[in-house]
Amino acid sequence: MYIMETTSANNGIGIEALPGNIKSSAILSAEHLYQLASVSEIPFIDAGFTDDRLKNIIQYYSINPDEMETELHLYAKELLNNGKLYEAWQVLLGVV
């Protein structure tokens, strides 16, 4: 279970500030959304971020954006379950 810090220094952006496709995801749970919403601002795409699985998803599903979004959300869910918030954001930023 993810516990969001509630100190005044880390209020996070809140779930309402998440991009619509993330908020309405049928794959990401409320717990995942709370994790994503715990950041102080929506991250920028990191041009230096490399991930072979992400690259493969984008290449394989590029002709079907809906399926690609599903696969990216599944991958982000896996990353969040493993405590990799930064990486999950980088995966999700590809479909925002």
Residues 6+ apart with CB under 8 A from 80: 2, 28, 32, 35, 36, 88
Say if residues 39 and 9 touch (Cβ distance below 8 Å): no
pLDDT digits (tens, 9 = 90+) for 31-72: 999 999 999 999 999 999 999 999 999 999 999 999 999 999
Domain extents for the chain? 15-93
Predicted TM-score (pTM) of this structure: 0.86
